[in-house]
Amino acid sequence: MKLVPQNRFLLFLALLLWGGALLTEKPWEGGAHERTSSLVGPLFPELQRQRQEIDQIQLRSQGEEVTLLRTSTGFVVKEKWGHPASSTRVVQLIDSLSLLDNRDVVSTNPEKRTTFGVEKGSGTQILVQNSRGEILADLIGGKLRAADPFTAAQVRLDFYVRPSGRNEVFLVNAYQPPSTEASDWLAGDLFSLNAEDIALASRLEFTSGETWTLVHDGPEAWHMENPEPRDIDLYEGDSWAFSFSNLRASDVWAHLEQGETPSPEFGFSTNLFRVEMGQGKPLELRLGGLAPNSDRYAWVVGSEWIYSVPNHEVDQLCMPFSVVSED
């Protein structure tokens, strides 16, 4: 069959389009989805392998800055006299950075950085370095993408982020803006203590002279020895022991040298709690005057740190105990 000129042109056009499609799709290199997936990777591909090399993490946002430094015993908070940092929070931060990928690029236009909140100085910068000062990760976390609450199938928090030095802005969901408030990074437990190990607890209130002594008679009973012997409610005894053993600091306010005692400004002349665990030296906690945010100063006698604790937790420690009816 002889092709007319018009048909020859159509055939040529079809072959040209087919050839272009081959060059674009490259079926000999695998499917388009597979090739696209192969290009998806972590924003900081070496960070997981380098996590043991991390020596310093700096977090900056809106004039606030916190620096986490690695020591032989773990990370510490530089702005809080080198107080131990929460290892859980540090691990979570490094994990989240390691999980960020380049899957969803939303912009490569430098003029759009302010729109997404990823311009330097406008977002939260996370800078991770090793002991040689080499940068292992440098990220600016920006705004939360708005979602329509009426159409969203589920709650999903997506944030815009940009690796410093790059133009690409990515949309990610393996990220939560880290706090740049130094107190939020503290390892907040005042002491390591199990509530069930408490054998005896006493309170001395210096101003009113109110005292009591509780004795733990085992898993099923407590009784008050002072000011007069009587049984107390089991739940109240267990509740007090749980509150004391889980007491957490809201902030740290001073670092004491070895053998140094707190200065009078902290007002440690109100309450003294003394706990015995059956063996070893008793643990003593002093509560002082009002700290900022209506917290109370607290000091574990013999320790190097002066803390503040939430006032509602102090109220729990100073609660009255009910008399168990003999009926």
pLDDT in tens, 136-177: 999 999 999 876 555 555 556 899 999 999 999 999 988 999
With a cut of 90, say whether residue 214 has pLDDT above it. yes
Predicted pLDDT of residue 18: 55
Whether residue 265 is contained in a domain is answered as: yes
The residue assigned the tokens 């009587």 is 230
Residues 83 and 115 in one domain: yes
Predicted pLDDT of residue 240: 94
Residues in CB range of 205: below 8 A, 6 or more apart: 211, 270, 271, 318
Instruction: Report the 10 Å Cβ neighbour count for 245.
Output: 19
pLDDT tens per residue across span 249-292? 999 999 999 989 999 999 998 789 999 997 778 999 999 999 99
pLDDT tens per residue across span 70-115? 999 999 999 999 999 999 999 999 999 999 999 999 999 999 999 9
Predicted pLDDT of residue 155: 58
What average pLDDT does range 14-41 have in this prediction? 51
Residues 81 and 135 in one domain: yes
Residues 138 and 262 in one domain: no
Whether residue 254 is contained in a domain is answered as: yes
Which of the four pLDDT bands, split at 50, 70 and 90, describes residue 205? confident
Whether residue 217 is contained in a domain is answered as: yes
Residues 164 and 77 in one domain: yes
Last-in-domain residue among 152, 185, 218: 185
Nearest to 133 by CA among 49, 46, 56: 56
49 compared with 33, residue with greater pLDDT? 49
Residue 235 belongs to what H/E stretch? helix 234-245
Whether residue 311 is contained in a domain is answered as: yes
Residues 85 and 149 in one domain: yes
The predicted model scores a pTM of 0.81
Nearest to 184 by CA among 256, 88, 288: 88
255 compared with 325, residue with greater pLDDT? 255
The whole domain housing 97 covers 47-185
Q: By the 8 A CB rule, do 281 and 191 touch?
A: no
Which of the four pLDDT bands, split at 50, 70 and 90, describes residue 32? very low
Predicted pLDDT of residue 272: 93
With a cut of 60, say whether residue 4 has pLDDT above it. no
Which of the four pLDDT bands, split at 50, 70 and 90, describes residue 39? confident
Whether residue 157 is contained in a domain is answered as: yes
CA distances from 62 to 37, 66, 141, 270, 286 (A): 37, 12, 12, 39, 36
- Mean pLDDT in the chain? 86
Predicted pLDDT of residue 278: 78
Residues 157 and 233 in one domain: no
Structural domain count, the chain? 2
Last-in-domain residue among 157, 185, 213: 185
Last-in-domain residue among 185, 219, 238: 185
Which of the four pLDDT bands, split at 50, 70 and 90, describes residue 124? very high
Whether residue 20 is contained in a domain is answered as: no
Q: What are phi and psi of 253, to 5 degrees?
A: -120, -15
Predicted pLDDT of residue 254: 97
Which of the four pLDDT bands, split at 50, 70 and 90, describes residue 30? very low
Whether residue 22 is contained in a domain is answered as: no
Q: Determine which of 29-38, 264-273, 276-285, 300-309 has the lowest per-residue pLDDT on average.
A: 29-38
Predicted pLDDT of residue 322: 75
Residues 178 and 91 in one domain: yes
Q: Determine which of 15-29, 109-123, 268-282 has the lowest per-residue pLDDT on average.
A: 15-29
What average pLDDT does range 18-25 have in this prediction? 51
Predicted pLDDT of residue 43: 96
Q: Say if residue 122 is exposed, middle or buried (CB neighbours under 10 Å; 0-12, 13-18, 19+).
A: middle
Cis peptide leading into residue 227 (ω within 30°) = yes
Q: By the 8 A CB rule, do 298 and 251 touch?
A: no
Residues 84 and 176 in one domain: yes
Residues 154 and 257 in one domain: no
Residues 110 and 232 in one domain: no
Whether residue 27 is contained in a domain is answered as: no
Instruction: Report the 10 Å Cβ neighbour count for 289.
Output: 13
Predicted pLDDT of residue 12: 55
With a cut of 60, say whether residue 316 has pLDDT above it. yes
Residues 63 and 110 in one domain: yes
294 compared with 325, residue with greater pLDDT? 294
The CATH number linked to 292 is: 2.60.40
Q: Determine which of 5-14, 173-182, 265-274 has the lowest per-residue pLDDT on average.
A: 5-14
Residues 167 and 226 in one domain: no
